[in-house]
Every structure is written in C-alpha cells, then in structure tokens.
Amino acid sequence: MWHCSVFSISFCFLFFFFFLTPFQNSSSTTALSVDLINTTCKQCADKSRTTILSYGFCLTSLQAIPFSHAMNLEGLAIIAMELTVENATSTVSSIGKMLSSGAFDPFAMGCLKGCLELYDDAVAMMLLLLSVDSVP
C-alpha cells in the first residue's frame, strides 16, 4: 500500500498548492524565489492539518528542480503537477510489473488492479490539467 500513500501525498500537495494560489499574487516575481518556495511549502503544510504533506517533503521536491528558484507561484504549481505526473507514471509502471510477475495471491492482484486503475486515472487527469492554457 506504499504506492497509495505516495499518491495521497502528491494529490494533497497539489490540492493545497492550488487552494493557496488564489490568495497569492502570481505575478510577484520580485519576491525571492527561495522565500516563495519556503513560504508556500510552510503554508501548504500548515493548511493540511495532518501529516499527509510535510514541509520537508514539499521543500525537497520543489528545490530538487533547478529552475524552480526562478519561478513565481503559478510556475511552482506547474512544477508540482509535473512531479506528480512523473511519480504517478513511475508507480503505474511498478504496479504493471508486479501484476505481470504473477507473484501475488488473487486478493493482492485485485488490490493492485484497483491501484493501477486509480493511478491511470490520476495521470490522465493531471495531463489534462497541464494541457489547459490557463488555470481559473
């Protein structure tokens, strides 16, 4: 079930990231990018009210992308979405390999098929969102 928790973290990260977007000035490129990443991750972690999204996870994920330091809030949201697609696609591949191995009992195979369907849908949804010209 490790894969399901990764999806939950990514989904919550994106949910809270976009929840905060209307309250921030996305054209504020003059703010220090590192401060923007720190502030955004702190606000997202604080608003999650659970341990689903940790400040450290958010910070590490965004800072791992070299050009994230030159982004405004909208750019950071796009980076977060792209990271989510990459992680979910990797998870789909891992689940596919587990299913094709046939090394699991029927119950586990059913669970894996359910996870695969959820991840496939999530990837499709994220790709659709990334293809939209503007976020309302």
- Is 26 within a domain? yes
Residue 71: the pLDDT is 85
- Is 70 within a domain? yes
Rounded mean pLDDT of 15-34? 49
Structure token pair of residue 98: 């587990």
- Is 136 within a domain? no
For residue 18, the number of C-alpha atoms closer than 13 Å in the C-beta half-sphere is: 15
Domain count of the chain?
Answer: 1
Q: Write out pLDDT tens, residues 32-76.
A: 567 899 999 999 888 887 777 889 988 999 999 888 888 888 889
Contact status, residue 9 vs residue 52, Cβ threshold 8 Å: yes
Contact status, residue 53 vs residue 44, Cβ threshold 8 Å: yes
**Res. 123 pLDDT band, cuts 50 70 90:** very high
- Is 113 within a domain? yes
Structural domain that includes position 94: 2-131
Distance CA 68, CA 75 (A): 8
**Res. 22 pLDDT band, cuts 50 70 90:** very low
Residue 11: the pLDDT is 52
**DSSP secondary structure, 55-73, as one string:** HHHHHHHHHTSGGGGG--H
Burial environment of residue 61 by CB neighbours within 10 A (0 to 12, 13 to 18, 19 or more): buried
CA distances from 126 to 11, 31, 58, 112 (A): 10, 28, 18, 21
Residue 10: the pLDDT is 55
- Is 69 within a domain? yes
The number of beta carbons lying within 10 Å of the beta carbon of residue 91 is: 22
0.85 exceeded by the pTM? Answer: no
Residue 133: the pLDDT is 60
- Is 82 within a domain? yes
What letters, b where the CB count within 10 A reaches 16 and e where it falls short, cover 109-136?
eeebeebbebbeebbeebeebeeeeeee
Q: Write out pLDDT tens, residues 79-111.
A: 989 998 999 999 999 999 999 999 999 999 999
